[in-house]
Structures are given as C-alpha cells and as structure tokens.
Amino acid sequence: MTIENSGTDGTFLAVVLAAGQGTRMRSTTPKVLHEIAGRSMLAHVMVTARAAGAARTVVVTSPAQDDVRAHVEHTDPDATTVIQHEQHGTAHAVLSAAAEIEAAKLPVLVLYGDTPLVRAVTLSAAVDALEDRTSVVVVGFEAEDPTDYGRLLVHGDTDRSGHTSLERIVEHADATAAERAVTFCNSGIVGLRASAALPLLKAVTNDNAKGEYYLTDVVEGARTNGDRAAVVAAQEDAVRGVNSRAQLAEVEAIWQARRRVEVMESGVTMLAPDTVTLAFDTKIASDVVIEPNVYFAPGVTVEAGARLRAFSYFEAAHIGRDAIVGPYARLRPETRLGEKVRVGNFVEIKKADVASGAKVNHLSYIGDADVGTEANIGAGTITCNYDGFAKHKTTIGPRAFIGSNSALVAPVTIGEDGYVGSGSVVTKNVSAGALAVTRAPQVEKAGWVEKFRTLMSRKAARRV
Ligand code: UD1
Ligand code: MG
C-alpha cells in the first residue's frame, strides 16, 4: 500500500483513465502498470492526485484488467475502479464513472494513468480555476511537436483569476491546416465543475473523424451554455504521456533528473548525478556523498554523512550515519547498517543487521545474520545460510574477528570477542573470547624442493 487510509476529506474527485490497450508497449503487462522509478505510472498519478487534494479516486479500467484493479486497491484503499466495457472515447470513459461522479458532488478532475509526471500544484491550480461561470478547465502546454494532440483554440479575454479562456479544442484528426499550426495543446487533464460535469459529459456526441465521444467537446458544451472554459498551463515534460518503451525511458529520465535536483537541493552531494538512479521512495539525509553509478531500488534510507561509493546497488536497505559502503557493494532487502559501518568492495549483504563500527571490507557474503558492534569480518567470509531447504541464522558477537576465507555454517553463533582462524569452516558455536580454527595443521618438510626438482629432472631426461 502506498497511500495511507486518510479518509475522504478533499476538494475533488479524481477520475483516472486507464482502459487503453497500450498496444505500442508490446507487453503482456497493462501499460499503466509499467514503472517509473520503481512505482507504476498509475500509482504515481494516484499519489499525485491525493497530494493535490483528491477526496477519492476512481480508476476507469477495461474488462480484462483484473491486475489493474488489484493494483488500485493495493495502492489506495479509498480508491475505486469502474469498468468501461467498450472503448468509445475519453468522454465515454469518464461516463463509466457516472455513478461515482453523481455521488461525490465534487468537481471532477480527469487524469490519464499513462501521464505520470504531472505535478500536484498543477492539479490544484486546475481545480481552483473552476468557479461559478467556469465549468471546464484544461491543462495545456506548448508542444515541441503538436502532431496527434488536441489543439487549444483560445481567445483574448481572461477570467477573473487571469486564466486564459478557451474557445474550443480540436483533435488533430479533425483539424484544418491552420488549426494544426497551433502548438498550444491539450495534455488530456480536464476539470469539470461539480454540477456541470454530468450534463456536459452526457451532451457529447461522436460526430467526428474517429466516431468517438471526445471529452474535449465539453469545452464547446460549456460555452454553448454561456459558461467559460479556462486553461492552466504546464510544462511539456510534466504532461508527457507514455505510449511506447522509448517514451517510458524518456519519462524515467525526466523523473530522475527532477528528483536528483531535489535530492541535491536537500544537501546531498552527487559526483556524477546523471549516473545515479533513484527510486520513488529513496530517502537520503543531508551530507551524504554519492559517487558515480550508484543504483537505488525501492525501500532505501540513508542517514546523514554516509558515503556511497561508486557502482553500488541498494534495495530495501538502511544505511546508518557516517557509514561507508562500496565501491561495488550490494545491499539486498532487510539489510540494516549501523553507524560508521564499513562495507567494502564485492560484498553482498542480505537480511542482516550490521551493528555500529563493524567492518565487512572485502569479497564477503553476509546473509540472515547479526553482526555485533566493532566486529571485523575478514576478506572472503561466507555465511552459509542455506542448506538447500531452509535459511538459517548466523550471529556474530561484538568485537568478534572472523579470519579471511572462513565459512560460517548456519545456524551458528560466534561469541563476543570470539576469533575464527583464517580458512576455517565453522559448524559449531564459538564461545566468547575463544579461538576456533578448523583448518588442517600446517606441515613443513625441510629441503623438499631440491629433492623434488632433482627427481623430476631425472624423469624428464629418461623420456628424451
Ligand atoms: C487525447 C485528447 C487530446 C490530447 C491527448 C493528450 C480527447 C478526445 N483527446 O487524445 O486532446 O491532446 O489525449 O495525450 O480526449 N481511454 C480510455 N477509454 C477510451 C479512450 C481512451 O480509458 O475509450 C484512455 C486511454 O487509455 C488513454 C487516455 O484515455 O490513457 C487518452 O486516450 P487516447 O486514445 O490516447 O487519446 P488521444 O487520441 O491521445
Ligand atoms: Mg494518447
């Protein structure tokens, strides 16, 4: 669940259109479930709508989209879904939520599930623009290439709050050459005043090039009633829709660029920001330094002063204050590093608590483990946590020293200040303060090399 159950206080009803096939994605996953920064596009839109003050969200789905409906429920327990049985256009899609619109008695804001970067301030501005004589508001943008977008035909006057008035929206397919030259376009986000919403939607016909019920026709409808339609402007990047994998990547890049700036503004240093990948929920405290090519999957928190060295990969892990991690470290889910922990190169840690001051400096695997404060884990140490059937725990006490190239066969406990000799395979618990060594004793044969060489050269001479 990504949205807390926060009741239904709010200023508008969000209707999110998600019934489209998304064929250009060439995917078995519905388009709106494709992810940006580790969260579905649909969840981005739902979260933003709630942040902008949506009382409730209704998502319009197609009959086959059981997975989308389950995802909506998981994302926001207050949200509901409706089914649009056949797709006859955007106005038709919104009308599949007619019962919810009727019951809500709130302004309606139509959003697209495949337009995930829209900002909450833009949505609140759109809702605020709806007033007595303004029945419709459209979020518009200047398009670099307006092809395929609906064109916003505006006229000179503005409403009391200074919003541009909109005369009509003409879809690309229906536009004249002169209208196609217009670059001010419809983002698709449309707001409707509460009492005007259903009458305007019901008045839309399908008399156009595509034979669809265009939501954009509510603009003319409002004007026919003597009401106004207003425009709120947004940046093109914020209203970019996703129809293909290439556009998914573009939108991801825009999201990443935006969030990196926010993270740096909050006091984090990034040596090569363009190479750092953040997740939607990454939390990084101030004075953290992030070296190049660090990847954050969802669920990561980093406390102040930590240094995240190059080429490290983190997922659902917590990194404590002043810890140093990497280069080339991998922290997997349920890893918690305490203060000043040091994790070095080619170390993988999974589901482990590594207490303050402990060091895991090189080439180790620590999984299903507790590592005590100030413990030192030597190079190449492996916690053998899996016996082919179940996972078992390794507990390493405070200040314990694990010699290099040791295998700790779990379940096993190394007591406080315990010492494991290098190269040991530890299968029994080690008492506090004790030394455990399991390797074969070293033997030495004086003068062996000379005898060996003589023997071997004689053999070689006989072969010729
Ligand atoms: C729509 C707008 C256009 C705008 C553009 C912005 C209309 C008539 N046109 O055009 O002015 O510039 O978006 O991207 O509104 N959907 C349904 N059910 C339907 C039809 C569509 O759920 O029956 C959903 C789609 O999944 C999609 C969204 O509504 O998320 C928009 O539909 P789409 O067919 O992409 O509209 P466009 O022709 O791009
Ligand atoms: Mg479209």
d(CA 351, CA 364): 14
| Helix ranges restricted to H, 96-215 | 98-104, 120-129, 177-180, 194-202
Six token digits for residue 242: 């996703």
Three-state DSSP class for residue 422: coil
Rounded CA-CA distance 151/141 in Å is 10
In the predicted model, what is the mean pLDDT of the chain?
Answer: 96
* Whole-model pTM over 0.75: yes
- Cα angle for residues 351, 296, 371 (degrees, 5° grid): 25
Those residues with Cβ within 8 angstroms of residue 165's Cβ, 6 or more apart along the chain or in another chain = 154, 155, 156, 157, 158, 159, 228, 229, 230, 231
Question: For ligand 1, is residue 185 a contact (CB within 6 Å)?
Answer: yes
**Nearest CA residue ID for atom 26, ligand 1:** 20
Q: For 96-122, what is each residue's pLDDT tens digit?
A: 999 999 999 999 999 999 999 999 999
Average pLDDT value for residue range 261-279: 98
Q: What is the DSSP letter of 18?
A: -
The alpha carbon of 19 and the centre of ligand 1 are apart by a number of angstroms equal to 10
Q: Is the CB of 22 under 6 A from ligand 1?
A: no
Q: How far is the CA of 279 from the centre of ligand 1 (A)?
A: 28
Average pLDDT in the 146-153 region? 95
Token pair 């919810």 is found at 100
Residue 407 clears pLDDT 70, i.e. is over it: yes
- Extended strands (E) in 164-315: 164-170, 184-192, 228-233, 269-270, 283-284, 289-290, 295-296, 301-302, 307-308, 313-314
Is 17 close to ligand 1, i.e. is its CB under 6 Å away?
A: yes
State the residue for tokens 């327990």. Answer: 77
The residue annotated as part of the active site, out of 74, 88, 362, 392, is 362
Distance CA 173, CA 175 (A): 6
Average pLDDT over residues 302-325: 98
Outline where 52-89 has alpha helix (H).
Answer: 66-75
For range 5-9, the mean pLDDT: 60
**54: buried, middle or exposed (CB in 10 Å: 19+, 13-18, 0-12)?**
buried
Is 362 known to be catalytic?
A: yes
CB 79 within 8 A of CB 72: yes
Residue from 90, 110, 111, 184 to probe ligand 1 pocket by mutation (most atoms less than 8 Å from CB): 90
For 239, the token pair is 């209203």
Report the percent of the chain where pLDDT is more than 70. Answer: 97
Answer whether residue 351 shows pLDDT above 70: yes
Bridge partners for 362 per DSSP: 345
**What's the token pair of residue 335?**
């890893």
- Per-residue pLDDT at 37: 98
* DSSP secondary structure letters along 32-54: GGSEETTEEHHHHHHHHHHHTTE
The amino acid present at 201, given as its one-letter code, is L
> What pLDDT does residue 7 have?
54
Asked if residue 216 has its Cβ within 6 Å of ligand 1, the reply is: yes
Report pLDDT digits (tens) over 185-196.
999 999 999 999
Q: Which residue has the tokens 């005369």?
A: 167
Share of the chain above pLDDT 90, in %: 94
Q: How confident is the model at residue 9 (pLDDT cuts 50, 70, 90)?
A: confident
Q: Whose alpha carbon is nearest atom 1 of ligand 1? A: 188
Residue 4: its pLDDT value, please? 64
Measured in angstroms, how far is the CA atom of residue 90 from the centroid of ligand 1?
6
